[in-house]
Chain A
Amino acid sequence: MSLVDRHVGFVDALRRAGLPVSLAEGLDAARALAVIELTERETLREAYAATMVKRPSYRPGFDTLFDLWFPPVTSALRAPRETGTDADELDLGQADLARLRDRLAELLLGDAGATGDPAFAEFVRAMVERFGRQPAGAGRQNWFSYSVMRALSPGTLMARMLDEVLRGQERGGLAEKVARRRLTDNITGFEDAVASDVRRRIAEDSGVEKIARSVVKPPVDQIDFLRVTKADLAALRREVYPLARRLAARLTIKHRLGQRGRLDFRRTVRASLSTGGVPMVTHMRPRRPHKPELVVLCDASDSVATFSHFTLLLTYALREQFTKVRAFAFVDTVDEITRFFAPGTDVVDAITTMTREADISRFGRSDYGHSFEGFAEKYGDAIGPRTSLLILGDARSNYQRPALATLRRLAGEARHAYWLNPEPHAQWDTGDSIATSYGTVVEMHECRNVAQLAAFIEDLA
C-alpha cells in the first residue's frame, strides 16, 4: 500500500468509526505528514491525533485503528532474531511455560510495557505466535487473545509479584495498595498489547478494512444508558462532574436572560462618542446571576436502573452547583432522597443507602401517575417560581393512570420543566409508554447517552 492509499484508507476508517473528520482536517493531517519524520511511529500517531481527533472520547478508537493501519511490525518482513549471543537467553519459541511465566513476571515487575522496553513488545509477539493461533479449517488460521491469557494467566502471578515488591513489609496497607495498582495497570497493559497484536495478525490474514469495521467500540459519550456495563459505569462517572457544572451554568444563564440590570456607564459613554458625546443608546450591565433552585424527580425502577444510577450521580454532583437542590425518587411511591446526598457523603455509599432505605416502592413496578400525585400532595411546595424541574424516566406507565393534570400543574408552577427520557424516540408510545402524552405537558428530550445529555445542556441557553 502506498502512503497516500494508506492515509486515505485510514481517514476513511476513522470516519466510518464515527469520528467527524472534516475535509479540512484531513488536509491538515496530510500537511503534517509532509513536515514530520514518517519513520517515527509515535510522532506519526500524534500528528494524526492532533489534526483529526478533537475529543478525548474518540482517542481509544483512534488508537486501535492507527495500530491496524500503521502496524509496528509486519510478520512476513520481520528479521529473524539473532540468537546465540547470550547463552542464558530464553528461547521464547521453545521454553516451557514455567520459564515463560517467570519472564512475564519479570517484565511486569520492571514496568517494561509502560517504559516502552522493546523486549516487552517482542515477548508479546512471541506469545501470540505461540498460543494465540488456532486452526480454522482448510489450511486457515485464526488468532485469539484469550488463549494467550489462559496459557500465561498473568492474574495468578500477582501474589508472588507482590511478595517480591513488598519484601516482608506489612501487608494490607498503603504499600500493598500502591503496588497492586501498578501491577494491575501493567497486566492490563500486557492484555492490551496482546489484543493489539492479535488484531494486527487478523488484519494481515483477512484484510485491514474488514477487521476495522468490528473492533472499534463506541466512544464513552455514545454508550447507551440502558445498556451500560459495569466497566462502562466507571468511565461514565468521570463525565458527571463536568456535566453538572455545565448544566448549572446553563440554567443560571437562562435565568438571567430577559432581565436587565443596572446601567453600564462605561459602555454607554463609549457608544455615545460617535454621536458627539450624546448618549443615543444605553447599555445595561447584565444582572448578577443568582443561583437557581433545582428539583429532580427520578424514576428509580429496574427498567431504568443504569440510567437512574447515572442520574443520581448527576443529582449528587449538582448539589454543589445550585443553592437548593431537592431530589425525589419513585417507583410507585415518591420519597425525598435529598438526605442521602448531603454534601460530603460518599456518592457510592449514598446510592447504596438510598436503595435500601428510601420509601419508593410498594409493588415494584413504575407508577408515574401515583407518584406524581403523591409528590404534589406531599412535596408540592418544593416547586416555586424560581425552580427548575427535571424529570428523569422512560414514561412507561404500566398502564396506570397518568395523572396528566397534576403534572401540568406542577410544571406550570416551576420556572422551567424538562423531561429526559433514556429510550430511543422510536420506542416512545410503544407498549405502555405514554411519552407523547407527558411530552405535551413537559418538554421531553431523548437522552440515551452522555452526548445527548451534553447537547441538551448546551441547547438550554
Chain B
Amino acid sequence: MTSWFTSPADAGERLAAVGYLADDGIATSVFLAAALGKPLLAEGPAGVGKTQLAKVVAAATGAELIRLQCYEGLDEARALYEWNYKKQLLRIQASGDQGWAETHDDIFSEEFLLERPLLKAIRRTAPTVLLIDEIDKADVEVEGLLLEILSDYQVTIPELGTIVATRKPYVVLTSNATRELSEALKRRCLYLHLDYPSPERERDIVLAQVPGIEASLAEQLARTVATLRALELKKSPSIAETIDWAHTLLALGRTELDESTTTGTLGVVLKHASDQTRAIKELGLPAR
C-alpha cells in the first residue's frame, strides 16, 4: 500500500501547503483513512470544506481525483458501469449471419463497456482519490452498492467476471446529513464531523484564501461571523460565505467592518431575508 501520509502532523502540513487548514480532527482522520485503509466519511453543514477536503488530499499527494456526484435517482448504471447499448445495437445489426452466441460474446466485451466513476477508481493502477460526494442525496439502495464495493474493493460484471482493485483508492464520502446514513455504512467508515471552525482557525483560513487581506480585517470578519452563527438563523454563514465576504470587502476597498458596511454587505453571508432582519435587530445594526 502506498504511504499517503506519514503522520497526522505530516497530513496537516501537506494540506496547509495546498491552502487547506486542518485542525487535529481533520489531520488525524485524513492520516488514519490511508493508514488503516478505510473510507473517510465527512459529514457537516454546507460550505465547511467537505468536498474541498477530498480535492486537497488529491492535490497534496499527487493522486488523481475521481468524483461520483450523488443525486436522487442515481443508479448502478451511472455509478458503476453500463453497456453501451447504442453501439451494441449497431453491432447486432451488422452481425449478418454470425450466430447469436458469438455476437453475444462480442457485444459484452471491454469495447462496449462504459466505465463509470466507481469502476474507474477500482481499475486505476496509479494513486487515486475517489470522492463520493453528497451521498445523502442518493437513494438508500446506492448505499448497499457502496457497502459491497467498499468492503472488498472488487466488482463483478456477470459478462466479464470479477475485477479486483490492484491498488485501493483513497475514498472520501461527504454528506450534508439531510438524512441519516445506514449504520452499516457508518461502521465501515472513519467518521469526521466537519463543523464551523473556531474564530482563530477561520481567520487563518481567510488569510490563506484571500491574498492581500489585512490580518485585523480577517480577525474582525471571523469574529463577526461567529457572532452571526450564534443567532439561531435559518441558514448560518458557511466558511465559503465568509471568504466571499472577505473578497467583497476587499473589492469595495474597505479595511474595516464597521456597522454600515456590515448592513450594506450582509446579503453576502445571509441569504434569507428573515435572517438579515433578525441579524440587524439582534446586533443593533443600522437598518437599510
Contact = CB atoms under 8 A, between A and B. Distances in A.
A6 interface: no
A82 interface: no
Of the candidates A20, A24, A54, A269, the one having the most CB atoms from chain B within 10 angstroms of its own CB is: A54
B227 interface: yes
A454 B180 CA distance: 8
A381 to B, nearest CB: 30
A54 B175 CA distance: 13
A269 B82 CA distance: 12
A51 B198 CA distance: 23
A98 interface: no
A242 B224 contact: no
Contact of B179 (A24, A286, A458): A458
B89 interface: yes
A174 interface: yes
B87 to A, nearest CB: 10
Most buried by A among B25, B100, B104: B25
A114 B198 contact: yes
Interface string A14-58: 000000101011001001100111001011011101110110100
Interface in A295-347: 343-346
B191 A270 contact: no
A35 B178 contact: no
Q: Is the interface of B mostly helix, strand, loop or mixed?
A: helix
A273 interface: yes
Interface in B243-288: 258-259, 262, 272-274, 277-278, 282-285
B70 to A, nearest CB: 14
B24 A24 contact: no
A177 B227 contact: yes
A344 B284 contact: no
A252 B35 CA distance: 41
A284 B96 CA distance: 32
Given A173-B284, A174-B259, A50 B32 contact: yes
B232 interface: yes
B73 interface: yes
- Bin the interface of chain B by size: 35 or more
A181 interface: yes
A242 B176 CA distance: 9
Contacts of A461: 140
Nearest to B24: A42
A106 B82 CA distance: 65
A270 B284 contact: no
Contact of B107 (A25, A273, A348): A273
A50 B190 contact: yes
Nearest to B186: A54
Contacts of A267: 77
Interface centre among B104, B180, B230 (most CB of A within 10 A): B180
Contact of A270 (B7, B41, B83, B100): B83
B235 to A, nearest CB: 8
B226 A346 contact: no
A50 B42 CA distance: 10
Contact of B283 (A177, A286, A343): A177
A185 B196 CA distance: 15
A273 B284 contact: no
A346 B278 contact: yes
A178 B222 CA distance: 10
Contact of A43 (B24, B100, B187, B282): B24
Contact of B36 (A28, A56, A173): A28
Given A51-B32, A346-B278, A458 B92 contact: no
A173 B259 contact: yes
A40 B8 contact: yes
Contacts of A54: 41, 186-187, 189, 191
Contacts of A245: 178
Most B C-beta atoms less than 10 A away, residue of A177, A249, A269, A458: A177
Interface string B17-58: 000000011011101100110100101000000000000000
B209 interface: no
A346 B277 contact: yes
Nearest to B191: A54
Contacts of B199: 114, 182
B227 A181 contact: yes
B28 A47 contact: yes
B148 interface: no
Contacts of A45: 24
A176 to B, nearest CB: 8
A273 B84 CA distance: 10
Interface in B160-211: 177-180, 183, 186-187, 189-193, 195, 198-200
Given A174-B262, A237-B232, A43 B274 contact: no
B32 A32 contact: yes
A206 interface: no
Given A32-B32, A50-B191, A182-B199, A269 B89 contact: yes
Contact of A277 (B35, B38, B89, B178): B89
A245 B179 CA distance: 8
B85 interface: yes
Nearest to B185: A54
Contacts of A234: 232
B174 to A, nearest CB: 15
A193 B266 CA distance: 35
B198 to A, nearest CB: 6
A140 B178 CA distance: 51
Interface in A399-413: none
A2 B252 CA distance: 60
A366 B262 CA distance: 47
B7 A37 contact: yes
Given A54-B41, A344-B274, 17 more contacts: A32-B32, A35-B35, A36-B28, A42-B24, A46-B8, A46-B24, A50-B190, A56-B193, A114-B200, A178-B227, A182-B223, A242-B177, A269-B89, A270-B77, A273-B107, A276-B104, A454-B180
26 contacts: A20-B183, A24-B187, A32-B35, A35-B35, A35-B36, A50-B29, A51-B32, A51-B190, A56-B195, A173-B259, A174-B284, A178-B220, A178-B223, A178-B224, A178-B227, A181-B226, A185-B226, A241-B234, A242-B177, A266-B85, A267-B77, A269-B85, A273-B107, A344-B273, A458-B180, A461-B140
Interface of A: 20, 22, 24-25, 28, 31-32, 35-37, 40, 42-43, 45-47, 49-51, 53-54, 56, 59, 111, 114-115, 172-174, 177-178, 181-182, 185, 234, 237-238, 241-242, 245-246, 249, 266-267, 269-270, 273-274, 276-277, 286, 343-346, 348, 454, 458, 461
